[in-house]
Structure 1
Amino acid sequence: MPITTVIFDAYGTLFDVTAAARAAAGEPGGELLRDRWEALARDWRDRQLDYSWLRATAGRHCDFWQVTQDALDWALAAHRMAEPVLRERLLALYWELEAYPEVPDMLAALKGRGLTTAILSNGSPAMLEGAVTSAGIGELLDAVLSVEEVGVFKPHGSVYALVCARFGCAPSEVLFVSSNGWDAAAAAGYGFATAWVNRAGLPRERLWAEPAHELRDLSTVPELV
């Protein structure tokens, strides 16, 4: 079947998860972060994912905003930067993450071809609304789907099932795009055609399935359909 529906992960795929720490480091009062923002951003993101997997495995679901705060608290403590003002600023900036530069034109190209476009994310509905609004891409998306509809984080199969339930399509009609190798692999295992956006040039994950495509950024996604 031809691809009719293109689904994107949000954080790290459409939105740059390092943007909050980078922005805070450049602001007045951001001296603590000047030389360490990249390491903090990396640890924040890694722990955010770790906590989502651990909660899914333990059956201890909470929304992604709580996971995001817990992960930041761990990262700040690890870097000995547990300053309340810095914490609040980083959390505020997380609601205004920048989209990668190629995102608007890429989404517009897909819509121009008559394709359905949507987000499928661990993020809570409020978080995703903030990011989409801040990036100005709402008109280029047909839906924003959150794991809160099923109460478990990716890569649980019930999350990927939200796409076909919402759009009435077969898995083979879906191209799923993620910057997370584990997410792209799990979606491939579910039955989606998948593309892994490997900006960092990382090796492929050793999991039960593999993405069909590997990209350096999102600009070539329209060529896949």
Structure 2
Amino acid sequence: MRHAAFVFDAYGTLFDVHAAVRRHAAAIGPEGPLLSDIWRAKQLEYSWVRSLMGSYVDFWQLTEQALDFAFDKAPSADRSLRQDLLDAYWRLDCYPEVPAVLKALKAEGARLAILSNGSPAMLEAAVRSAALDTVLDDIFSVDQVRKFKTDPSVYDLVATNWRLYPNSISFQSSNRWDIAGAAKFGFRTVWINRSGQPDEYRDHPPSLILLSLEGLLAGA
């Protein structure tokens, strides 16, 4: 047994955040990739700013606001697709290896959970759509503390609820800033660097870097 507890970030780690725009790529037009990149970047920026201000609103509201900004920055994209894109965000595709990896870890007796900025309703919808509800033990949302990652209280949700020391929990995320926050909190961290991004936050390094979650089954 590698670790007894595995916790996964949701968006970008289990679920492809660009799947919503890709699903409507033909209708959006050539600015689709730009729209998707801005949408994601602003979604995260708004979460950090809201945490610093102490002005929490749930992640779904940030997702809507970020999409509106993205349309303003990509004016040739068809704004009439706004609701279609928002609807698609509730059922994002998971990455191809995700179901098999989680099932294999579960079969070994591991405890599995999601720890995400997403609202409870968003996460439950995504998990059901990807048929991951049968393998996950818990879904932890920042809604419980009304702060976003990388606030330490977010990572403490898992340690407190599971009554485990942080270093006994393996935390997986594709977001390097999330890995930095989790490492500082004390988790064993695995950066899923799917797109080969350069390293940053070098004073809070990951325990391991993988190209996909499949590496967790190779003795990681």
Q: Give the whole-Å Cα distance in 1 for the aligned partners of 2:79 and 2:9.
A: 30
Deviation at 1:36, TM superposition (A): 2.1
Match of 1:204 among 199, 202, 212: 199
Deviation readout 1:66-108 (Å, 9 max, x if unpaired):
0000100000110015755311110000001000000000001
User: Partner of 2:213: helix, strand, or coil?
Assistant: coil
* In 2: Cα distance, 1:55 partner to 1:164 partner: 24
Q: What residue identity is the alignment partner of 1:145? A: F
TM-score between both structures, scaled by the size of structure 1: 0.94
**Matched residues in 1 for 2:208 and 2:24: separation?**
34
Is the CA contact (8 Å cut-off) linking 1:3 and 1:172 kept in structure 2?
no
2:13 is matched with which residue?
13
Inter-CA distance 16–6: structure 2 relative to 1 (3 Å threshold)? same
Counterpart check, 1:113 vs 2:108: yes
Amino acid of the structure 2 residue aligned with 1:86: L
**SS of the counterpart of 1:219?**
helix
Q: Which amino acid aligns with 1:142?
A: D
Give, in whole Å, the separation in 1 of the partners of 2:100 and 2:78. 39
Change (3 A) 1:80 1:140: same
| 1:130 maps to which of 118, 125, 129 | 125
Match of 1:44, SS state, is: helix
Unaligned runs of 5+ in 1: none
Q: How many residues align?
A: 219
Alignment partner, residue 94 of structure 2: 99
Identity among equivalent positions (%) equals 46
1:24 corresponding residue in structure 2: 24
Partners of 1:186 and 1:208 within 8 A in 2: no
* Normalised TM-score (structure 2): 0.96
Cα distance in structure 2, aligned partners of 1:79 and 1:85: 13
Instruction: Point out where structure 2 has 5 or more consecutive residues left out of the alignment.
Output: none
Alignment partners' CA distance in 2, 1:211 and 1:224? 16
